Amino acid sequence: MLDYTPKEITERKALNVNPAKTCQPIGAMYAALGINKCLPHSHGSQGCCSYHRMHLTRHFRDPIVASTSSFTEGACVFGGKSNLVKGIQNVFNIYNPDIIAVNTTCLSETIGDDVGEFIRDSKVPEGKRVIYANTPSYAGSHVTGFSNMCKSMVTQIAESTMGEGNNGKVNIMPGFVEPSDMKEIKRIAEEIGMDYTMYPDTSDVVNTPNTGKYDMYPEGGTSVEAIRESGDAMATVALGKYTSEEAAFKLEHKCKVAPYVLKVPLGIKATDAMIFKFIELTGKSVPKALEKERGQLVDLMVDVHHHYHGKKVAIFGDPDIVTAMTEFVIDLGMIPKYVLTGTPGKVFAKDIYHMLENAGIEGSSVKSEGDLFELHQWIKNEPVDLIIGNTYGKYIARAENIPLVRVGFPILDRVGHSYFPVVGYMGAMRLIEKISTAFLDKYDQECADEDFELVM
């Protein structure tokens, strides 16, 4: 048995057991992949970079490349300047990207490398760019890293060139979601007829079609030029407080583009909110197609509401996803019994408790900076009917015989997430299908013969 979690809860101060987060650079790397012809570069030792690539590769099942400064002892003593300067030169020579996005690691941060200065002292070929983000993992989590790289895109690329005017476009910052989700958000914007720039945009970068050849720079990703012009947009819709808010605020500060921070459009309410914002900004009306999808979603919710109503659920993962998921689950009549994220942050618990209170739900536990050991202990003391979270939830699911619906990052043991969205009305339908199927599969396997039915 894999279950090594004691039921009795004792206070822990120093030990993280079975983490519900990982480190900043991997988030930064993922965001950087959302720029067209970008090669992420990890400034630190080889190990980190190798782990980050490996993990992203396992999740997306696509080749993920990134270069590294390959620190050795010398670099630790004398600083990593020569490694980076040489590294940048080599990357442009060998791999010829349009842009390099450098992220730091714990090591280069700890020895105090000034990456910005190093880059200024590097030879960058004409027409090429190098941006960087500070991503020490002893602060925040992979979510913070994603946010930091998005912020760098704004501060180091975006510009306003039109004075007071704007180009009529809306910036969409999608947050740390799947390429499939980014694509779905774009589709919705297109249905509405909104002129937009999404960045970062990893669709068609980490879920590329099989063509029989390997392209180091697939066609997807936002072009550097489009990011530059985002300073001339009329507004920014930032999806997810933790992943997109800061970048949107920076853009407001730098180029006076109005920021609107919404939830990741996961679930019916959050999708409504995003679509209304798009409508409000563009002055268009809700297109028939979206109205129809919403109607279908509602119909599906009605059809199977008895499957999930009143069921208790544990939700864990990244704060933006978990927050939106909690809202959706409440809308489905379920009870979010435990809500946990590994990422630190004070507003998380406040936001969740607020939603629970509005729904009249009491007795739930909410925590940021938690780990899965703790979640497991809670579940042992009072079980739930369903777990929603990433692949790592499978240990608890197996130990306690609770179905797991996989949502979030990473998903290392199932396929489909990079092609089928969980956002938007279509995504909400998919989630309902998954949740309902999870309950019914378990019922079919375990129920008494006399309860085994064809029609459910």
Partner 1 sequence: MPSEHVILDSRKSFIIEKGVAAGATIDCDKESLSGAVSQRACVYCGARVVLNPITDAVHIVHGPIGCASYTWDIRGSLSSDSEMYRNSFSTDLREKDIIFGGETKLAKAIEEVYSAYHPKIIFVYATCVVGVIGDDVDAVCKLAEQTYNLRVIPVKSPGFTGNKRTGYKMACMALMQLMGDEPHEEKIPYTINYLGDFNLAAEAWIIQKYLREMGIRVISTITGDASYSTLINAPKASYNVVQCAGSMTYLAKQMKKTYGIPFEKVRFLGVDETVKALRKIAYLVGDTKVIERTNALIEREMKKTHERLETYKKKVAGKKAAIYVGGGFKAIALIKQFRNLGMHVVVVGTQTGDSEEYAMIRRLTEDGTVILDDANPSELQKFAMDKQADLLVGGVKERPLAYKLGMAFIDHNHERKHALSGFEGAVNFAKEVDMTLNSPVWHYVKNKNKTI
Interface positions, 116-145, toward ligand SF4 (CB under 6 A)? 137
Stretch 5-34 residues interacting with ligand SF4 (CB under 6 A): 23, 25
Nearer to ligand SF4, 25 or 265 (CB): 25
How far apart are CB 40 and partner 1 at their closest, in Å? 10
Nearer to ligand SF4, 137 or 156 (CB): 137
d(CA 199, CA 146): 12
Contacts of 201 (CB under 8 A, 6+ apart): 34, 174, 182, 186, 220, 221, 222
Instruction: Give which of 268, 269, 346, 251 is closest to 260, Cα–Cα.
Output: 251
301 interacts with partner 1 by CB under 8 A: no
Which positions from 56 to 95 touch ligand SF4 by CB under 6 A, shown as an x/- string? Answer: ----------------------------------------
51 interacts with ligand SF4 by CB under 6 A: yes
Integer CA distances (angstroms), 23 to 48, 58, 105, 120, 155, in order: 10, 16, 9, 27, 22
**Residue selected from 27, 38, 40, 45 as contacting ligand SF4 according to rule CB under 6 A:** 45
57 interacts with partner 1 by CB under 8 A: yes
The site partner of 212 among ligand SF4, partner 1, none (C-beta below 5 to 8 Å per kind) is partner 1
Which positions from 90 to 129 touch partner 1 by CB under 8 A, shown as an x/- string? Answer: xx-xxx---------xxx--xx------------------
Stretch 29-48 residues interacting with partner 1 (CB under 8 A): 41, 44-48
Contacts of 182 (CB under 8 A, 6+ apart): 34, 174, 198, 201, 202, 203
**Residue selected from 32, 35, 38, 64 as contacting partner 1 according to rule CB under 8 A:** 64
**Residue selected from 4, 6, 9, 47 as contacting ligand SF4 according to rule CB under 6 A:** 47
DSSP-based three-state secondary structure for 207:
coil
Structure tokens at 400: 């306690």
Contacts of 90 (CB under 8 A, 6+ apart): 67
d(CA 418, CA 60): 7
DSSP-based three-state secondary structure for 427:
helix
Nearer to partner 1, 58 or 434 (CB): 58
Alpha helix stretches (DSSP H) within 309-363: 319-331, 346-358
Task: Tokens 């006399």: give the residue.
Answer: 450
The site partner of 34 among ligand SF4, partner 1, none (C-beta below 5 to 8 Å per kind) is none
Nearer to partner 1, 56 or 251 (CB): 56
Which positions from 287 to 326 touch ligand SF4 by CB under 6 A, shown as an x/- string? Answer: ----------------------------------------
Stretch 356-395 residues interacting with partner 1 (CB under 8 A): 373, 392
Contact 46, 416 (CB under 8 A): no
**Residue selected from 51, 249, 260, 353 as contacting partner 1 according to rule CB under 8 A:** 51
**Residue selected from 208, 243, 326, 390 as contacting partner 1 according to rule CB under 8 A:** 208
Q: Which range, of 9-17, 104-112, 182-190, 405-413, touches ligand SF4 by CB under 6 A? A: 104-112
Nearer to partner 1, 312 or 406 (CB): 406
**Residue selected from 67, 134, 144, 368 as contacting partner 1 according to rule CB under 8 A:** 67
The site partner of 253 among partner 1, ligand SF4, none (C-beta below 5 to 8 Å per kind) is none
Structure tokens at 114: 């000034």
Structure tokens at 413: 């043991």
d(CA 64, CA 179): 14
Structure tokens at 106: 């714990």
d(CA 160, CA 167): 10
106 interacts with ligand SF4 by CB under 6 A: yes
Contacts of 186 (CB under 8 A, 6+ apart): 172, 196, 198, 201, 203
How far apart are CB 74 and partner 1 at their closest, in Å? 9
353 interacts with partner 1 by CB under 8 A: no
d(CA 34, CA 27): 11
Nearer to partner 1, 82 or 358 (CB): 82
**Residue 31, Cβ density class (10 Å: 0-12 exposed, 13-18 middle, ≥19 buried):** buried
What number of chain residues touch ligand SF4 (CB under 6 A)? 10
Structure tokens at 169: 């476009």
Question: Which residues of this chain interact with ligand SF4, rule CB under 6 A?
Answer: 23, 25, 45, 47-48, 51, 105-107, 137
